[in-house]
């Protein structure tokens, strides 16, 4: 890779000399005779090295260095000084950010040795920068993979819980998608949307703790069996509540609250309105909508119009009106999710 230097000097013959010497060590050079313009050129270009004369009209070398250092800390800067310049000047240049000095008249051997060193330094900087970028993109990619896998694991867990029930695997995935859409619709942060997307599949995880005879019963449940069945929100909550993962923690909340109703007639706690966690209110709506769309052993899928009428009839009864509004405005997107995620068996 060819490195590119910016050379700033008000004297044309010095610029030509540097160009010629740089060419010998494979360094490309852009020359600039006016310091003010040179700083602008530096800021709009991608230079690896800077040569700057000290004694120039309007703006001296130290001022140029100070300007450059305002935006770029890493690029090596070589200041060209006269032998007669004192140490105090060099000290000020170093404080301003000079990396190296060359004395006039320029000596080719010294030029090669010092500039080659700085080119090596710059190459190492670039290599490090590229590695850091590569690493960052690899980390992002790996994080994305882990996320996808985590979502898959949580979905499978949710499916396992619903497997013996009338619900299907696709139901669990669709509820996750509807829930994310609702969370977005009511202005939840991207992080919160991601949490509910991953936690919603766990809403019925507590059914693992319900007897098969009840879960798989084809006739209606007795009062005692119904009471047992209604324990699944709390069972799920107990399973998940102490977890560290934000997804599992949210899963606990969702499990506990997905059968609460907005008017306070739900279970297990008969919570009302915003006493019910937002995630629970969201999943409650998503879960019911999907059940109405789906074929179950005891019912055919409802036509859309009947579903919408039912949903609307439950405004402020079963459902949060704000969520219902959002659902009604975007019903096509909800239907798209239902149609695109279907079981393959």
Site residues (CB under 5 A) for Fe ion?
A: 204, 287
Number of C-alpha atoms within 13 angstroms, CB side, residue 140?
A: 6
In angstroms, how far is CA 197 from the centroid of its own chain?
Answer: 15
Nearest distance, CB of residue 43 and Fe ion, angstroms: 58
Nearest distance, CB of residue 320 and Fe ion, angstroms: 17
Of the pair 53, 204, the CB lying nearest Fe ion is at 204
Between helix 278-293 and helix 321-329 the angle, nearest 10°, is: 50
Of the pair 51, 319, the CB lying nearest Fe ion is at 319
Of the pair 96, 170, the CB lying nearest Fe ion is at 170
CA distance 83 to 46: 31
**Close Cβ partners of 143 (under 8 Å, ≥ 6 residues apart):** none
Question: Taking phi first (over 0 means left), then psi (-120 to 50 degrees means alpha), and beta for anything else, what does residue 82 get?
Answer: beta
Query: What ranges make up the beta strands (E) of the chain?
Result: 4-8, 28-32, 49-53, 77-82, 100-104
Grouping H, G, I as helix, E, B as strand and the rest as coil, residue 20 is helix
Nearest distance, CB of residue 162 and Fe ion, angstroms: 6
- Say which residue the tokens 């619903």 belong to: 162
N-term to C-term CA, the chain: 56
Nearest distance, CB of residue 131 and Fe ion, angstroms: 47
Nearest distance, CB of residue 171 and Fe ion, angstroms: 6
Of the pair 93, 248, the CB lying nearest Fe ion is at 248
Of the pair 204, 260, the CB lying nearest Fe ion is at 204
Between helix 87-96 and helix 61-71 the angle, nearest 10°, is: 20
Of the pair 25, 157, the CB lying nearest Fe ion is at 157
Nearest distance, CB of residue 286 and Fe ion, angstroms: 8
Of the pair 80, 284, the CB lying nearest Fe ion is at 284
Backbone angles phi, psi at 218, to 5 degrees: -90, -25
Nearest distance, CB of residue 226 and Fe ion, angstroms: 13
Q: Which tokens go with 167?
A: 């619900």
């Amino acid at each position: 890779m060819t490195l590119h230097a910016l050379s700033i000097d008000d004297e044309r013959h010095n610029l030509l000399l540097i160009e010629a010497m740089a060419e010998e060590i494979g360094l490309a050079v852009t020359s600039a005779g006016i310091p003010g313009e040179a700083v602008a050129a530096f800021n709009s270009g991608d230079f690896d090295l800077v040569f700057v004369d000290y004694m120039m009209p309007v703006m001296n070398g130290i001022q140029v260095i100070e300007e450059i250092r305002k935006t770029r800390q890493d690029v090596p800067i070589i200041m060209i000084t006269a032998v007669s310049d004192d140490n105090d000047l060099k000290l000020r240049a170093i404080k301003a950010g000079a990396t190296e000095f060359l004395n006039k008249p320029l000596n080719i051997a010294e030029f090669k040795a010092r500039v080659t060193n700085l080119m090596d330094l710059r190459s190492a900087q670039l290599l490090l920068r590229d590695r850091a970028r590569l690493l960052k993109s690899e980390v992002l990619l790996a994080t994305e993979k882990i996320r996808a896998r985590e979502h898959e694991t949580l979905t499978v867990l949710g499916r396992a819980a619903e497997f013996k029930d009338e619900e299907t695997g696709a139901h669990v995935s669709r509820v996750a998608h509807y829930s994310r859409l609702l969370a977005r619709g009511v202005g939840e942060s991207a992080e919160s949307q991601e949490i509910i997307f991953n936690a919603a599949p766990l809403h019925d995880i507590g059914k693992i703790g319900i007897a098969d005879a009840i879960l798989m019963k084809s006739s209606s449940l007795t009062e005692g069996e119904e009471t047992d069945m209604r324990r699944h929100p709390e069972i799920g909550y107990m399973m998940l509540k102490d977890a560290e993962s934000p997804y599992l923690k949210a899963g606990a909340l969702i499990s506990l609250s997905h059968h609460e109703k907005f008017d306070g007639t739900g279970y297990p706690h008969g919570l009302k309105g915003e006493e019910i966690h937002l995630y629970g209110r969201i999943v409650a709506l998503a879960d019911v909508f999907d059940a109405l769309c789906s074929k179950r052993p005891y019912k055919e899928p409802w036509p859309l119009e009947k579903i919408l009428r039912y949903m609307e009839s439950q405004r402020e009864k079963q459902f949060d009106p704000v969520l219902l509004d959002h659902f009604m405005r975007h019903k096509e997107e909800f239907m798209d999710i239902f149609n695109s995620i279907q079981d393959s068996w």
